[in-house]
Amino acid sequence: MEAACALACAHTGSRFAARLVASGSTDVLWERGGSGIYDPLFRSVPSVYETWNAVNVLRAVRTALRTEREQYEGRAAAVIDDGTFLITHLVFRQLLAQDAGMGEPDQSLAWAAMAKEQVPELVKHIVPVLVQVLDNEVGTRTSLQRVCADPQQAADLVTAVLTALEGGNTEDAAAKYRRQENKPRKRRRPNAVHVIIDRGALEEGTPLHLALYLQPEKDALSAWLAANPRRGLAKWTNTSRTRPIVWAADGVAYSPSGLIARMWELAEWEGRPVANQGTARWATQDGETLAILARRLLDGMEEEKDAE
């Protein structure tokens, strides 16, 4: 699994890393066929050196991101949490531009040693530029996962980040998300549904609509959804912290993720993942997903605490 993830990130194109980010699951690694990852990734067997070097870079990036995560909050922290594989791809693009010999036989593993030495500094520069470009290109209310769900948009994002890095002058990138030195580390963010209910952000009966963003999921559910338009509609209720969504198709209350899982089951999607982020798939009339709404509310709550 680790080797497959590393090789997907090391691929010359961004689409494999983007698929991993968009899905939030490594299940997509094993999809077969032209639109999948497995066949094009392993059609020609990667060498032991290419594989081991790739794994070393992925491990180094994960270690560096744990340190970098402490420096940011809000949207930047969310990008780090969600975007490990895209950030790793950007690191590979930087490393391979300097030395493309990742797959060359070398028992001394000099390439891996060189890469691991450079990874912390590369991550330190890539993260804020990625956040800034993301904000500039799609705004602060669109998640990295949704951008990565569109291969062309993800490729454009990667190109823009690499261009910005090449141009330099990135010292102030994403500065607004940097944690103040005397601010204590935040605890794990609370449940999105609880935040929305506790803040009274949505009125009882607020209409919701399905906002799928993964192409395999759209393809699998399109015909089933078209057969009954009510299947893509729901309403919000503040009466339950565990089942706040009432599905228009049957009038039953569900959790966001529970309803998505039920829809996958009813649509008989054989390739469905084992888990999902339901709050990222239900949106209000203005297009804001429940996940983005909760993050915005949390950021506001943190700003209020800082002002006290």
Q: Can you give the pLDDT at residue 306?
A: 59
Q: Decide if pLDDT at 187 tops 60.
A: no
* DSSP string over 255-275: -HHHHHHHHHHHTT-TT--S-
SS3 205: coil
Whether 153 and 198 map to the same domain: the answer is: no
Q: Can you give the pLDDT at residue 210?
A: 94
Whether 136 and 268 map to the same domain: the answer is: no
Helices 256-266 & 215-226, crossing angle to 10 degrees? 70
CA–CA separation, 160 and 163 (whole Å)? 5
User: Among 6-10, 57-61, 85-89, 172-176, whose mean pLDDT is lowest?
Assistant: 172-176
pLDDT band of residue 156 (cuts 50, 70, 90) is very high
| Nearest to 285, CA basis, from 213, 232, 209 | 209
pLDDT in tens, 14-42: 999 999 998 888 888 888 776 778 888 88
Whether 139 and 267 map to the same domain: the answer is: no
Name, in order, each residue with C-beta under 8 angstroms of 75's C-beta and a sequence gap of 6 or more: 131, 135, 140, 177, 295, 299
pLDDT in tens, 216-272: 888 889 999 999 999 999 999 999 999 999 999 999 999 999 999 999 999 999 878
Query: Bridge-partner residues for 283, per DSSP?
Result: 209, 289
Tally DSSP H helices, then E strands, for the chain: 13, 5
Q: What share of the chain is helix, strand, coil (3-state, %, to 5)?
A: 60, 5, 35
Domain that holds residue 213: 192-307
pLDDT in tens, 4-14: 999 999 998 99
Task: Say how many domains are in the chain.
Answer: 2
Whether 132 and 211 map to the same domain: the answer is: no
